[in-house]
Amino acid sequence: MSARHPSASHPSDDLAAAGITLERRGGARLGGALTAGERQFYRWILRSFGAGTLPGPDAFADAASELELEVEPALEQLRRLDLRPDSGNPATAAARS
């Protein structure tokens, strides 16, 4: 068991100092904004990236279809919630193709 150094800040203090409010962290960030299928789709994306896999457009479409989702609206919902970066990052380019 490791103890935090007495002068070390807690991660939540660091997030607050960075201006990231409670509403933008953890489960509170999502609230009821995602359907069960969208949440499963998001977790699939996280697991894929965590495993070092960069899913292609077909993989995204197949995963969404298995969850009875349309891929484009599901990805748009994740983007709106800032859960899927909409940048030039090659890791997310496949989701936009």
Whether the per-residue pLDDT at 11 is higher than 80: the answer is: no
8-17, 32-41, 58-67, 82-91: least confident range: 82-91
Would the pLDDT of 79 be above 80? yes
- What whole-number distance in Å separates Cα of residue 89 and Cα of residue 4? 35
DSSP 91: H
Question: Read out DSSP for 17-77?
Answer: HTT--GGGSHHHHHTT-S-HHHHHHHHHHHHHHHTT----HHHHHHHHHHTT--HHHHHHH
Q: What is the pLDDT of residues 22-61, one digit of tens each?
A: 666 666 666 678 899 998 998 899 899 888 888 899 999 9
**CA angle (81, 27, 43) in 5-degree steps:** 70
| In contact, 66 and 59? CB cutoff 8 Å | no
Claim: this prediction has a pTM higher than 0.85: no
Q: What is the pLDDT of residue 4?
A: 52
Where do the structural domains in the chain lie, given as residue ranges?
32-96
